[in-house]
Amino acid sequence: MSRILDVKNLHVSFDTYGGEVKAVRGVDFHLEKGETLAIVGESGSGKSVTTKALMRLIPNPPGYIKHGEMIFEGKDLAKASEKEMQKIRGKDISMIFQDPMTSLNPTMTVGNQIIEPLVKHQNMSKADAKKRAIELMKLVGLPNPEARFKQYPHQFSGGQRQRVVIAIALACNPKILIADEPTTALDVTIQAQILELMKDLQNKIETSIIFITHDLGVVANVADRVAVMYGGQIVESGTVDEIFYDPRHPYTWGLLGSMPTLETNDEVQLTAIPGTPPDLLNPPKGDAFALRSEYALQIDFEQEPPTYQISDTHFVRSWLLHPNAPKVEPPEAVKVRQRKMPSNFKEPVLVEEVQV
């Protein structure tokens, strides 16, 4: 694999009447060609702001990229002009938004909305664009595309509208597809169909996907790697197996503990993370998760933890990994998953302490 995107020390803020809201605080991640990276975390953790910054869709004012680099194919998107970004959006980087009804123009037929990026970015004639749009509608599983091409968004079901949005996003064969919780507004049956569709399409067009979600159950089926966000920072990242079977951050433990499994019973119960996310108008000193963590150490309230490297792919920001930290046991819900660890998964060892 070769790297297509490299985000370094990204900071995104919003100026409000109350002061500066530091929505994203020093985020680092990368994306390889053909892989799916899932960014997970509860509402307000900074997932959507991070990916909208990649598309330069942060409204300015009040929002702005305060610091950092977003290197896409050698170009820093943070420094790109609006004219340059207009050539990239929809062509090289596309986005599927959470609610398909608000993503589609109710006054235009779905066919014309799929044609639009083809005419703008591919310089196709309307006849060729219509032919390609019908092919895309077939590709995403919309029945009778020739007839439905002339219909309006309100004439489609929720799942079908999401398929239309996916067709628009895929029209120009983007190199990166950002999916911002694309299944949240759908029922579980349609969710499964959309997720299966995205996996199938990725294999066909070899695009890289950034998948945003708060549902770890979705992650297990679609992602190659996972980045866990909290308080505007990535607190843990690794392969799917590393995050599910060897999580090291207390916040990741909390997310996994709140997700039901076949083993959930009277002995292994679902747990809730107490408290609320931090106020990023005044970010807490030290570890942002400390106030909600039963495993917090004194230093968590005084100093931000460095990043520890567990393996070549597994990184964690937690003082619990410091050599002098007390040894703590993860909750029972996490231990159950560790007992189900795949036979091909090797227990990683601490490689080094990486200072942030």
| The pLDDT value given to residue 333 | 74
Does the residue 236 lie in any domain?
no
Q: What is the pLDDT of residues 170-226, one digit of tens each?
A: 888 889 999 988 877 677 777 787 788 788 877 777 889 999 988 787 888 889 999
Q: Which of 237, 230, 173, 232 is nearest to 202 (CA)?
A: 173
Same domain for 344 and 200, yes or no, is no
What's the token pair of residue 74? 């050698």
Same domain for 175 and 73, yes or no, is yes
Peptide bond just before 283 cis, omega within 30 deg:
no
- Residue 207 has phi, psi (to 5 degrees) of -90, 160
| The pLDDT value given to residue 182 | 81
Same domain for 218 and 247, yes or no, is no
For residue 120, pLDDT beyond 90: no
| The pLDDT value given to residue 70 | 96
Same domain for 140 and 15, yes or no, is yes
End residue of a domain, out of 189, 223, 257: 223
Bridge-based pairing of strands 36-40 and 208-213 is parallel
103 compared with 354, residue with greater pLDDT: 103
Q: What CATH number is attached to the domain comprising 95?
A: 3.40.50.300
- Residue 212 has phi, psi (to 5 degrees) of -100, 130
Same domain for 126 and 197, yes or no, is yes
Q: How many CB atoms lie within 10 A of CB 136?
A: 22
End residue of a domain, out of 196, 223, 250: 223
Q: Report percent pLDDT > 90 for the chain.
A: 54
Could you tell me if 54 and 70 are in contact, meaning their C-beta atoms sit under 8 angstroms apart? yes
154 compared with 188, residue with greater pLDDT: 154
Same domain for 259 and 143, yes or no, is no
Q: Is 60 helix (H, G, I), strand (E, B) or coil?
A: coil
Does the residue 171 lie in any domain?
yes
Q: How many domains does the chain have?
A: 2
| Cα distances (angstroms) measured from residue 252 to each of 42, 231, 297 | 11, 13, 17
Same domain for 219 and 283, yes or no, is no
C-alpha span between 205 and 169 (Å, rounded): 12
Same domain for 332 and 265, yes or no, is yes
| The pLDDT value given to residue 218 | 80
Could you tell me if 60 and 239 are in contact, meaning their C-beta atoms sit under 8 angstroms apart? no
Q: Which of 4, 59, 60, 27 is nearest to 177 (CA)?
A: 4
Same domain for 49 and 192, yes or no, is yes
Under the banding of pLDDT at 50, 70 and 90, the label for residue 106 is: very high
Which structural domain, as residue segments, surrounds residue 105?
A: 3-223
Q: How many CB atoms lie within 10 A of CB 130?
A: 18
Residue spans of alpha helices (H) in 185-325: 188-205, 216-222, 240-245, 250-257
Gyration radius of the chain's alpha carbons: 21
| The pLDDT value given to residue 332 | 76
* CA atoms within 13 Å, Cβ hemisphere of 109: 13
Same domain for 15 and 158, yes or no, is yes
Does the residue 204 lie in any domain?
yes
C-alpha span between 78 and 75 (Å, rounded): 9
Q: What is the pLDDT of residues 287-327, one digit of tens each?
A: 999 999 999 999 999 999 999 999 999 999 999 999 999 99
Could you tell me if 118 and 133 are in contact, meaning their C-beta atoms sit under 8 angstroms apart? yes
Same domain for 259 and 211, yes or no, is no
Q: What is the pLDDT of residues 57-95, one digit of tens each?
A: 998 889 999 999 999 988 999 999 999 999 999 889 999
Q: Which of 219, 245, 213, 239 is nearest to 48 (CA)?
A: 213
Does the residue 100 lie in any domain?
yes
- Please report where in the chains the tokens 């680092």 appear, as a residue: 28
173 compared with 338, residue with greater pLDDT: 173
C-alpha span between 114 and 129 (Å, rounded): 8
Q: What is the pLDDT of residues 238-280, one digit of tens each?
A: 999 999 989 999 999 999 888 776 655 556 677 788 889 999 9
Bridge-based pairing of strands 307-309 and 352-354 is antiparallel
* CA atoms within 13 Å, Cβ hemisphere of 7: 23
Same domain for 183 and 252, yes or no, is no
Does the residue 233 lie in any domain?
no
Q: What is the DSSP string of 274-308?
A: -S----TTSPPSS-TTGGG-TT--GGGGTS---EE
Q: How many residues make up the chain in this entry?
A: 356
| The pLDDT value given to residue 261 | 67
| The pLDDT value given to residue 356 | 47
C-alpha span between 212 and 226 (Å, rounded): 10
Bridge-based pairing of strands 93-96 and 307-309 is unpaired
CB crowding 145-176: b at 16 or more within 10 Å, else e: beebbeebbeebeebbbbbbbbbbbbbbebbb
